[in-house]
């Protein structure tokens, strides 16, 4: 007999959240049972140094739906989510933070948007936040930039409360701090039906935030990485080659003009080595060649990569 697939996989990355785990687990269980959903709760302990793992073990002894993975050390949220996605098996995968700022009461609505409305990804939008201005203002700027660069019109890219079709999380790879841009990664993987849902943001009840000021620097850098890899990851020559060719052409055209001017128009004028334009043309040609060679080398590396022909296939017939 074929095994019945679980409705939900709830992936919860955590780091030093021992105080909130029992209450969070009980809350999730109440919501799931009330809505008659089958669910697995996946706790990914990202190298906690408090008693989080002991709490998870205790909870698992009384709740068969709990599964857990413990990292040897702290690797970051992206690594925890990636591991959780690999272990998930439910029709819909929901991610949420363990600090109880994400409300489990949102789970049925997110599940319905994926299963009934057909969204590939549903991102939570904490429209009313319980955060200081030092966090909300940079977040608004970051979300504005992310919308412009990715073309995905979400108000809150970094909201931990999201829902995905199982196929989405099995088709993307997270590393570094790429968890902020899962909707963009999904879009570049071919899942373009991305929605948004206003969710409740609760004030932190236990512990302190685990994210420092470095996220304001790393976030924009990761955004540029995601945008570039999504558009040119398999064809780097289209970016570097085009840019290099353009710069070389500009430099060559300027050098040609200067040569013609010196030989036929102003023969007694200043020497080429005394003209600023000559050095601009020279630098432009050199940089253009360097960009072109960068694209060429990137193509060679990509040609030998094991993932060069990894394409997402939606359906097959007779194959």
Percentage of residues in the chain having pLDDT higher than 90: 51
Task: For residues 147-161, give the mean pLDDT.
Answer: 88
For position 112, what pLDDT does the model report? 95
Answer yes or no: is pLDDT of 1 > 50.
no
Residue 142 and residue 136: Cα distance in Å, rounded?
10
Q: Taking a C-beta distance cutoff of 8 angstroms, is the pair 244, 291 a contact?
A: yes
The alpha carbon torsion through 222, 191, 108, 161 (nearest 10 deg) reads 0
Residue 99 and residue 50: Cα distance in Å, rounded?
14
Residue 3 and residue 1: Cα distance in Å, rounded?
6
Domain positions in the chain: 8-232, 237-303
Both tokens of 21, joined, read 């785990």
> Would you tell me how many other CB atoms lie within 10 Å of the CB of residue 40?
20
Q: How far is CA 252 from the centre of its chain?
A: 40
Q: In what helix (H) or strand (E) does residue 11 lie, and over which residues does it extend?
A: strand 8-14
> Would you tell me how many other CB atoms lie within 10 Å of the CB of residue 260?
10
**Integer CA distances (angstroms), 23 to 9, 121, 126, 201, 271, in order:** 19, 27, 21, 17, 80
Q: In what helix (H) or strand (E) does residue 27 lie, and over which residues does it extend?
A: helix 21-34
For position 175, what pLDDT does the model report? 79
Q: Taking a C-beta distance cutoff of 8 angstroms, is the pair 97, 124 a contact?
A: no
Residue 194 and residue 119: Cα distance in Å, rounded?
6
Percentage of residues in the chain having pLDDT higher than 70: 86
State in Å, rounded, how far the first CA of the chain is from the last one: 25
**CATH architecture entry for 8-232:** Alpha-Beta Complex (3.90)
Both tokens of 243, joined, read 């840019």
Burial of 183-205, coded b for 16+ CB within 10 Å and e otherwise, reads bbbbbbbebeebbbbebebeeee
For position 141, what pLDDT does the model report? 83
Q: Which of 39-48, 161-170, 258-267, 279-288 has the lowest mean pLDDT?
A: 258-267
For the entire predicted model, the pTM comes to: 0.76
Answer yes or no: is pLDDT of 317 > 70.
no
Mean pLDDT of the chain: 85
């Amino acid at each position: 007999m074929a095994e019945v697939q679980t409705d939900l996989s709830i992936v919860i990355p955590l780091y030093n959240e021992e105080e909130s785990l029992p209450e969070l687990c009980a809350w999730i269980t109440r919501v799931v049972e009330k809505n008659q959903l089958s669910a697995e709760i996946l706790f990914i302990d990202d190298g906690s140094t408090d008693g989080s793992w002991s709490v998870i073990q205790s909870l698992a002894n009384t709740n068969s739906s709990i599964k857990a993975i413990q990292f040897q050390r702290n690797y970051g949220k992206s690594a925890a989510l990636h591991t959780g996605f690999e272990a998930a098996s439910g029709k819909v995968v929901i991610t949420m933070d363990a600090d109880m700022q994400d409300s489990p009461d949102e789970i049925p609505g997110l599940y319905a948007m994926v299963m009934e409305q057909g969204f590939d990804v549903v991102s939570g939008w904490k429209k009313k936040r319980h955060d200081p201005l030092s966090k909300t203002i940079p977040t608004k700027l970051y979300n504005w930039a992310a919308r412009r660069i990715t073309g995905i019109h979400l108000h809150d890219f970094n909201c931990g409360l999201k829902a995905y079709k199982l196929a989405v999380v099995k088709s993307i790879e997270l590393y570094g701090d790429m968890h902020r841009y899962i909707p963009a990664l999904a879009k570049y993987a071919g899942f373009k039906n991305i929605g948004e849902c206003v969710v409740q943001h609760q004030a932190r009840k236990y512990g302190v935030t685990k994210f420092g000021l470095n996220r304001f620097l790393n976030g924009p850098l990761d955004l540029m990485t995601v945008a570039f890899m999504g558009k040119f990851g398999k064809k780097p020559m289209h970016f570097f080659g085009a840019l290099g060719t353009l710069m070389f052409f500009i430099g060559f055209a300027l050098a040609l003009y200067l040569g013609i001017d010196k030989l036929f128009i102003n023969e007694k004028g200043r020497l080429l080595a005394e003209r600023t334009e000559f050095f601009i043309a020279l630098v432009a040609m050199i940089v253009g060649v360097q960009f072109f060679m960068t694209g060429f080398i990137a193509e060679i590396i990509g040609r030998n990569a094991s993932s060069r022909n990894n394409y997402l296939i939606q359906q097959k017939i007779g194959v």
